[in-house]
Amino acid sequence: MNGDVITVFGVTGMREIAAGDDLAAIIATAVLDRLDDGDILVITSKIVSKAEGRQMAAADREDAISAETVRVVATRAYDGGVTRIVENRLGIVAAAAGVDASNVPDGTILLLPLDPDASARALCTALRNLSGKHVGVIISDTLGRPWREGQTDVAIGAAGVRVLDDLRGGVDSYGRPLEVTMPAVADELAAAGDLVKGKSKGVPVAVVRGMGRLVVEMDEPGARALVRDASRDMFRLGSDEAERLGYERGIAEAGR
């Protein structure tokens, strides 16, 4: 990224988060003396959900997925159940609508925060006030990727951080105009944070240092700006679902 030197470190020493906790104060206590202007805190959505009381009984998982779903993209049966890839009420396309059973007590599940951008704004405002530093906040969650194996963390909430680095109108190293180049820097920062947070290390917060040029005022768009509008989405359905829909439309057209 333009020759930037980036440092990423995990924030250790945080206790288990419970509903009603002052999450900003807990994070600040763990990292306050290490923050610099321009730092970006990458906070796993799980601890935000826990603090906001988004925990429920695992027996209600399927009902929770249905309640969080606004559109089914694809379903696939497997031994023991059905995987549902859906668009949730946040506009995020994910397995099981982002309902998660990892890193929570047995018998419970977590829903995503109600409004991750609002949660990020509250955390960023509080952390700026507590630290006196001009920092940004990203709330991250783990997603799979179409066409790619494995998962990576992406930004589902953001505040005080530019989420898209719009390079359109500039030129590349050969002087050719850039017409579509717009890196999703918030997702890249979320993935960088996950390299030190991990899934089983008990480190729910990371600090990315060296990208202060992306730390902005609070009126910048949040992570919702990363959700592609339906009018520009070329892959609205899974392959089997798209094929079936095309077949059904063909039959309907033939019957007219």
Is residue 81 one of the residues assigned to a domain? no
We report the CATH number of the domain holding residue 217 as 3.30.1330.100
221: containing domain: 7-52+113-254
Distance (Å, whole) CA 207 – CA 43: 9
Which range among 157-161, 179-183, 203-207 shows the weakest confidence by mean pLDDT?
179-183
| Amino acid identity for residue 222 in this structure | G
At residue 1, the pLDDT reads: 46
Is residue 217 one of the residues assigned to a domain? yes
pLDDT at position 94 over 60: yes
Is residue 67 one of the residues assigned to a domain? no
| Residue 201 half-sphere exposure toward CB, CA atoms < 13 A | 16
At residue 184, the pLDDT reads: 93
Average pLDDT, the chain: 90
Q: If we measure between CA atoms, which residue out of 48, 50, 46 comes closest to residue 19?
A: 50
Is residue 11 one of the residues assigned to a domain? yes
Is residue 69 one of the residues assigned to a domain? no
Q: Is the pTM of this model over 0.85?
A: yes
pLDDT at position 180 over 60: no
**Domain count of the fold of the chain:** 1
Is residue 166 one of the residues assigned to a domain? yes
pLDDT at position 116 over 50: yes
At residue 253, the pLDDT reads: 80
Is residue 80 one of the residues assigned to a domain? no
Is residue 26 one of the residues assigned to a domain? yes
